[in-house]
């Protein structure tokens, strides 16, 4: 085992005056793979080709905006006030800072709009795309590695992460290696991808239950990973805001799993579902 995991020395490359950022490249790669896998799974469920791509045109920009909004709002002190970086920094998404909660919430709104325009039901789309979203998170977390951000408490474990002095939080300047929480989440989400695909095949999940399982599993991992982090964060009753969010959202996902399994067992017929949505005029 190496003494520590080194952080990349460079996270930005230039083609002439144009900066090419590893963080942005990995986010884009994750989106492309998520759409590809989602399309493949939707076709396997009996859906029409091109539907996932059409919906992604709405869901992706909504998700990016939602992710950035959540980050800026939940960490407003980083951008506003006497010690803030300023309003301009709030728009510099390439520097890092996307909150998954906002990305999923606003991305779901965009997906709803896209599904409505395509005349298809949203739950089967959500079930098809869920493993792809989890896989995109695996890829996206590598961007945090390049940015040397979102690491945990100091440690001397063999898989500790080396962090340059410039990126160490105030009070931790004397420590050179930290918990690689980006790696923990990437590994956790890799397991989530495998569980989602297995559970979907094994239990013939439908009516949004694959997506709900994704949310529940992500929240379970986020609870313990968030507890390791030392970056500045707002707290509620002594706990980081994201811990509360993971707890409440995870409970909601579990409740939906149980209720949906009882009320709508099995998997929906896509043709019947699409016909029902067109007849009602809603998605």
| Rounded mean pLDDT, 88-105 | 78
Question: E strand or H helix at 18, and its extent?
Answer: strand 18-21
Taking the model in full, what pTM does it have?
0.89
At 175, is the secondary structure helix, strand, or coil? coil
Q: Quick one: what percent of the chain has pLDDT higher than 70?
A: 93
27-82 residue pLDDT tens: 999 999 999 999 999 999 999 999 999 999 999 999 999 988 888 887 777 788 77
Structure tokens belonging to residue 155:
């440690």
| Rounded mean pLDDT, 95-119 | 89
What are the boundaries of each domain within the chain? 12-280
- Give CA–CA dist 243/220, Å, rounded: 10
Instruction: Please check the confidence at residue 275 and state whether its pLDDT lies above 70.
Output: no
192-202 residue pLDDT tens: 999 999 999 99
DSSP states along 106-162: HHHHHHHHHHHHHT--HHHHHHHHHHHHHHHHHHHHHHHHHHT-S-BSB---TT-EE
256 against 237, higher pLDDT: 256
- Give CA–CA dist 267/90, Å, rounded: 42
Q: Which of 250, 259, 282, 276 is nearest to 208 (CA)?
A: 259
**Residue 189: per-residue pLDDT:** 98
Beta partners for 161? 5, 178
| Confidence at 97, pLDDT banded by 50, 70, 90 | confident
**Residue 85: per-residue pLDDT:** 75
Q: Quick one: what percent of the chain has pLDDT higher than 90?
A: 68
149-193 residue pLDDT tens: 889 999 999 999 999 999 998 899 999 999 999 999 999 999 999
Q: What is the mean pLDDT of the chain?
A: 89
| Confidence at 96, pLDDT banded by 50, 70, 90 | low
**Residue 84: per-residue pLDDT:** 72
Residues counted in the chain = 283
- Give CA–CA dist 213/75, Å, rounded: 28
- Give CA–CA dist 254/264, Å, rounded: 15
- Give CA–CA dist 46/100, Å, rounded: 29
| Confidence at 274, pLDDT banded by 50, 70, 90 | low
Please, which residues have CB within 8 angstroms of residue 126's CB and are 6 or more apart in sequence? 108, 111, 208, 210, 211
| Rounded mean pLDDT, 223-252 | 91
123-153 residue pLDDT tens: 999 999 999 999 999 999 999 999 998 899 9
| Lowest mean per-residue pLDDT among 7-11, 195-199, 209-213 | 7-11
216 against 72, higher pLDDT: 216
**Residue 277: per-residue pLDDT:** 57
């Amino acid at each position: 085992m190496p003494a520590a995991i080194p952080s990349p020395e460079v996270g930005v490359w230039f083609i002439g005056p144009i900066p090419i950022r590893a963080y942005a490249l990995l986010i884009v790669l994750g989106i492309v793979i998520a759409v590809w896998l989602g399309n493949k799974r939707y076709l396997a469920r009996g859906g029409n080709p091109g539907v996932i791509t059409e919906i992604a045109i709405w869901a992706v920009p909504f998700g990016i905006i939602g992710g950035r909004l959540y980050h800026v709002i939940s960490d407003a002190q980083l951008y506003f006030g006497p010690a803030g970086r300023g309003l301009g920094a709030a728009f510099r998404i390439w520097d890092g800072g996307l909150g998954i909660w906002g990305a999923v919430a606003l991305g779901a709104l965009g997906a709803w709009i896209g599904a409505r325009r395509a005349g298809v039901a949203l739950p089967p789309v959500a079930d098809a795309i869920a493993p792809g979203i989890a896989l995109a998170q695996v890829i996206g977390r590598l961007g945090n590695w390049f940015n040397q951000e979102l690491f945990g408490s100091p440690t001397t474990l063999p898989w500790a992460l080396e962090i340059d002095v410039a990126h160490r939080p105030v009070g931790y300047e004397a420590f050179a290696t930290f918990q690689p929480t980006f790696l923990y989440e990437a590994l956790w989400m890799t397991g989530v991808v495998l569980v989602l695909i297995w559970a979907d095949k094994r239990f013939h999940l439908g009516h949004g239950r694959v997506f709900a399982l994704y949310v529940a599993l992500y929240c379970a991992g986020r609870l313990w990973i968030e507890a390791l982090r030392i970056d500045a964060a707002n707290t509620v009753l002594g706990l980081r805001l994201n811990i509360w969010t993971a707890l409440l959202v995870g409970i909601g996902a579990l409740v939906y799993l149980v209720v949906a399994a009882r009320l709508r067992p099995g998997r929906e017929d896509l043709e019947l579902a699409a016909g029902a949505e067109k007849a009602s005029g809603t998605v």
